[in-house]
Amino acid sequence: MTDDFILVDDIQVLTLAQSDQIMNQRTLPFLRFILRNGSDFIMSMIPLEIAITISAYQSGQESPDSRLRIHDLVGQLAVVEKVEIDSVVPGTGVYQATIWLQPEGFSQTISFSMIPSHATLLAVINDAPIYVSRQLWEDYIKQKEEAQTDIDFDIPD
């Protein structure tokens, strides 16, 4: 992996909702990617079902529903080699990921653009590495710093 990407060491599912609000979807969860460089990268507006499933897999919880779901099926049909959160969809401000798969019985790896939270779920389930584009991370840090300087912390005595 080149210096263009930073490896994700851990993922945390975060929410601002109270426990009784989570199922009502009054607020959507966040994903916090803890990066190899000691920093983090946060994505917001994560679909509730995706966040709950990531959290369940991380904690070893098995679903009481025995039906095969699409994210389970991918791992049956292909090896998930890696996920790269690598760009922003033009004109939207939302992130995009590339997932790299090797289909069962094929020698060549293929890639697809995906919604990053969905690609992250596939990586978590299949124990595949996740990378964040260094450029996206640098842009994220810059926006975070700008947001902090825009807040006026003058507190009257």
Architecture of domain 5-150: Roll (3.10)
- pLDDT value of position 24: 59
Q: Rounded CA gap, 154 and 157, in Å?
A: 9
pLDDT, one tens digit for every residue, the chain (157 residues): 468 999 999 999 998 765 555 555 567 899 999 999 999 999 998 998 899 899 999 999 887 778 888 888 888 899 999 999 999 999 998 999 999 999 999 999 999 999 999 999 999 999 999 999 999 999 999 988 888 766 555 555 5
Whether the Cβ atoms of residue 10 and residue 55 lie closer than 8 Å to each other: no
pLDDT score recorded for residue 87: 95
Give CA–CA dist 130/6, Å, rounded: 9
Please list the residues that pair with 99 across neighbouring strands: 83, 112
Domain coordinates of the chain in residue numbers?
A: 5-150
Query: Both ends of the chain: CA-CA distance in Å?
Result: 53
- Give the H or E element holding residue 35: strand 30-35
